[in-house]
Structure 1
Amino acid sequence: QISCPSECHSKISPLDDPECTGDHIQHQQGSVIATEGGLVTLSCQYNTTYSLLWYKQSPGSAPQNLLLILDSTGTEHRADSLDSRFSGKQNKEKTRLDLEISSVDVTDSALYYCALNPTTLQRPRTSDYWEKVINKQINEYVLNTKH
C-alpha cells in the first residue's frame, strides 16, 4: 500500500474512501502554451488498476470525455466525435498516459483533466458518477494556444 497525501491521489469508488490506496495519479497541473500548428503532449503519471480518462473542458462548457484507456489491456476507446488530431499514448510500463494533440488549433485552448475510472463492475450506478469523476480528478492542465 502506498502512502500519499490526500490531495495527491484520486480513487473513485461507491464509498469514496478517503484513505490513500495504491490507486492514484501523481499530482501535476499547470499552464501549457502551445504554438498553433504544433504538437503538444499532456502527461498523466499513475499507479492504478483502474482505467484512465482524459477530459476537455472549454470555457463555459461542460467537460467532454475525450478518451478512455483500459488499464488491463491498454485498449483505447475514443469519443465518437473526437478529432483524429487527439491521441492517447501509454508507455510500456503502464505508468504514464499522454494525451497528444497534433496540429494544435486555437479551439484546443481549454482545461484538460486526467482522471481515474473504476472498472465497469466497480462503477457506482449513481447519476452523479461523472460529476464525482471530475470533482475527484487531480491532474489538470490549462492549454493556451498562440498564433
Structure 2
Amino acid sequence: MLFWSLLLLFDFKGLSSEEVITPYTDIFVATEKNKVEISCNYTSGDTLQWYRQYLKSAPQLLVMEHMPPTTPGFTLEHDKHAKRVHLKISSAEVTDSALYYCALRPTVIGNLETLYKNHNF
C-alpha cells in the first residue's frame, strides 16, 4: 500500500521582514514503512519547529528544536550551515498523510499570549 503525503509549505514571513521560511520540496510521495525526510530553508530564526495538520483540524506540534519530540517516530534535524531544517519520520504510515508546516519560534521572552493577540497575521 502506498503512503501519500501532500506537503504544501508556503513561504512564511516571520515577525520581521528578514525571517522567511520556504519549502525545500512542495510535494512528497512515500511508500509505507519507509523512512521519510522533508525539509525547509530559512533566512534567519531562533528555534525551528514542525507542525502537522490533518484535513479540517488545527495544526499540531510534532517537534521543536531543543525540546524532546512530542510525537514518537518524528525527529528534527537542524543544518545551521545550510540554513535548513529537516523533519524525519522513522516509519511512514498512511495516517501520516497530512500538511506539514515548518515554523519559526518567536524570540520573545515573557507573555506570548499578548504577542499573538496583538499581532496581525
TM-score class, shorter = 0.7 to 0.9
Q: Determine whether 1:109 maps to 2:97.
A: yes
Q: How far apart in 2 are the matches of 1:52 and 1:59?
A: 23
Identity %: 35
After superposing on structure 2, the runs of 4+ consecutive aligned residues of structure 1 that deviate more than 4 Å are: none
> What is the TM-score when the length of structure 2 is the normalising length?
0.74
Q: Determine whether 1:97 maps to 2:85.
A: yes
Task: Work out whether residues 25 and 39 of structure 2, in 8 Å CA contact, stay in contact via their aligned partners in 1.
Answer: no
Change (3 A) 1:39 1:116: same
Which stretches in structure 1 are left out of the alignment for 5+ residues? 1-6, 70-74, 137-147
1:49 CA drift (Å): 3.1
How many residues are matched? 111
CA RMSD of aligned residues (A): 2.9
1:46 CA drift (Å): 1.2
> What is the TM-score when the length of structure 1 is the normalising length?
0.62
Task: Work out whether residues 41 and 84 of structure 2, in 8 Å CA contact, stay in contact via their aligned partners in 1.
Answer: yes
Q: Determine whether 1:40 maps to 2:36.
A: yes
Q: What is the correspondence of 1:1-147 to structure 2 with a 5 Å cutoff?
A: 8-12=11-15, 20-21=17-18, 23-28=19-24, 30-69=26-65, 75-79=66-70, 82-83=71-72, 85-93=73-81, 95-121=83-109, 124-126=112-114, 129=116
